[in-house]
């Protein structure tokens, strides 16, 4: 069985202007959303307390709120988590409240009488730790990009490296933009997913670049654009196939992995869709726009150097 029976001849690069407009718009929307409303940062970054409890019966949120009202906890968010029996309680960090005691207080309030819920999970992150994590996360992203830039520049050529990084920035921006636009919470696992997307999207891009380098050596004739087009066409079935299998697994993870892993799976799903698109429509056109030519990748022959002698 084959998705694409023969080597296709689609003019991918001919559509690069349309792609640039589409990507530009998506990036603009992401950027505006990120600047205007930012990300819904999870507890990992903001600090605070999160308590997940399971009731033996479906419970009204108002009932839970009422119980917590008199506890002097301040800013409390109560919501269902998955089912009507599971409740998630978030308490913002607040002055005058010894933060490590908050979870104890909440559980006491909920379990005061019989029929109370069972504790499923408690997470408390001090504000200090949260700030450190946010800082570290940003740094991690930066270092990953620099490391990759160096490796690709070393293996290929700096314009390819810039093309690859342009695609990565594109992917990260749109993935984060997606989380910003739809107000989905970003926690530590989402950050990990975004970093994994960087690795994955690069994977795709490298495969295409590899083929471009090979074809520059093989196809003696043909412009850079034609060589790139041919390379993308030759690798397109692999690109789609790999993305498809990875997406299969991720959809399984999203559907069956439980609530905790939702953000992680979603970030990867979005990232891989965007990453696959960018490795076709962004990375190579960007390298082309920077002026990559055959001589940049094919080592000059020895005789040419000898010709310089009088």
Partner 1 sequence: MNRYPLWKYALIVVVLLVGVVYALPNLYGEDPAVQVSSSRQPVDAALRERVLGTLRAQGVPFRSAELADGRLLVRMADTEAQLKAVDVLREALGPDYTVALNLAPATPAWLRAINARPMYLGLDLRGGVHFLMEVDLEAALAQAEERYVDDIRGLLREAKIRYLGIRRGADGIEIAFRDAAERAHAAERIRGTLQGLELAERDAGGVFLVARLSERERREVMRLAVQQNITTLRNRVNELGVAEPVIQQQGEGRIVVELPGVQDTARAKEIIGATATLEYRLVDTEHSVEEALAGKVPPGSRLYRTRDGRPILLKRRVIVTGDQIINAASGFDQQTGSPAVFVTLDGAGARRMLAVTRENVGKPMAVVFIENKVETRVVDGRKVRTTRRVEEVINVATIREPFGKRFQTTGLDSPEEARNLALLLRAGALAAPVQIVEERTVGPSLGADNIEQGFRAVVIGFVLVLAFMAVYYKVFGLVADLALFVNLVMVVALLSMLQATLTMPGIAGIVLTVGMAVDANVLIFERIREELRNGNTPQASIHAGYEKAFSTIADANITTLIAAAVLFTFGTGPIKGFAVTLSLGIVTSMFTAIMGTRAVINLVYGGRRLKALPI
Reduced to 3 states (helix: H, G, I; strand: E, B; else coil), residue 247 is: helix
134 Cβ partners below 8 Å, 6+ apart?
A: 41, 45
Among 192, 219, 225, 290, binds partner 1 (CB under 8 A): 192
Task: Determine how β-strand 185-186 pairs with β-strand 76-81.
Answer: unpaired
Q: Which stretch binds partner 1 (CB under 8 A): 67-75, 171-179, 216-224, 252-260?
A: 252-260
Cα–Cα distance for residue pair 207/238, rounded to 1 Å: 9
157 counts as binding partner 1 under rule CB under 8 A: no
Minimal distance, residue 102 CB to partner 1, in Å? 10
Among 202, 280, 287, 292, binds partner 1 (CB under 8 A): 202
148 counts as binding partner 1 under rule CB under 8 A: yes
Segment 16 to 35, residues that bind partner 1, using CB under 8 A: none
Name the one residue in this structure whose structure tokens are 């975004």: 194
261: Cα within 13 Å, side-chain hemisphere? 11
Which residue, 84 or 255, has its beta carbon nearer to partner 1? 255
Among 200, 216, 277, 281, binds partner 1 (CB under 8 A): 200
268: Cα within 13 Å, side-chain hemisphere? 22
Q: Which stretch binds partner 1 (CB under 8 A): 33-41, 215-223, 241-249, 288-296?
A: 241-249
- Is 61 in contact with 86 (CB distance < 8 Å)? no
Q: Could you tell me how many residues of this chain bind partner 1 (CB under 8 A)?
A: 82
Minimal distance, residue 145 CB to partner 1, in Å? 9
Name the one residue in this structure whose structure tokens are 């990875």: 246
Segment 78 to 107, residues that bind partner 1, using CB under 8 A: 93, 95-101, 103-104, 107
133 counts as binding partner 1 under rule CB under 8 A: yes
Which of 98, 287, 265, 110 shows the shortest CA–CA distance to 187?
265
Cα–Cα distance for residue pair 73/67, rounded to 1 Å: 11
Cα–Cα distance for residue pair 75/20, rounded to 1 Å: 44
289 counts as binding partner 1 under rule CB under 8 A: no
Minimal distance, residue 17 CB to partner 1, in Å? 28
Among 77, 241, 293, 298, binds partner 1 (CB under 8 A): 241
261 counts as binding partner 1 under rule CB under 8 A: yes
């Amino acid at each position: 069985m084959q998705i694409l029976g023969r080597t296709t001849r689609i003019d991918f690069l001919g559509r690069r202007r349309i792609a640039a407009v589409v990507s530009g718009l998506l990036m603009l929307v992401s950027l505006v959303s990120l600047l205007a409303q930012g990300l819904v940062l999870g507890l990992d970054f903001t600090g605070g307390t999160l308590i997940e409890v399971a009731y033996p019966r479906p419970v009204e949120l108002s009932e839970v709120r009422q119980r917590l009202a008199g506890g002097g906890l301040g800013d409390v968010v109560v919501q269902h988590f998955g089912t009507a029996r599971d409740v998630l309680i978030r308490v913002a960090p607040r002055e005058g409240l010894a933060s490590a005691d908050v979870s104890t207080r909440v559980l006491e309030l909920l379990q005061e009488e019989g029929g109370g819920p069972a504790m499923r999970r408690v997470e408390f992150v001090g504000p200090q730790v949260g700030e450190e994590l946010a800082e570290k996360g940003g740094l991690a992203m930066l270092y990953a990009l620099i490391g990759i830039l160096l490796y690709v520049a070393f293996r290929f050529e700096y314009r390819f490296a810039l093309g690859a990084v342009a695609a990565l920035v594109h992917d990260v921006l749109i993935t984060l933009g997606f989380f910003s636009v739809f107000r989905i919470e970003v926690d530590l696992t989402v950050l990990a997913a975004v970093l994994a997307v960087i690795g994955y999207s690069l994977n795709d891009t490298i495969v295409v670049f590899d083929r471009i380098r090979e074809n520059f050596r093989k196809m003696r004739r043909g412009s850079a654009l034609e060589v790139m087009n041919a390379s993308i066409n030759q690798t397109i079935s692999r690109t789609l196939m790999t993305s498809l299998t990875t997406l299969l697994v991720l959809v399984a993870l999203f559907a069956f992995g439980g609530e905790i892993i939702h953000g992680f799976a979603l970030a990867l799903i979005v990232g891989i869709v965007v990453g696959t698109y960018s490795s076709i429509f962004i990375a190579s056109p960007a390298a082309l726009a920077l002026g990559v030519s055959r001589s940049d990748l094919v080592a000059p022959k020895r005789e040419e150097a000898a010709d310089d002698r009088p």
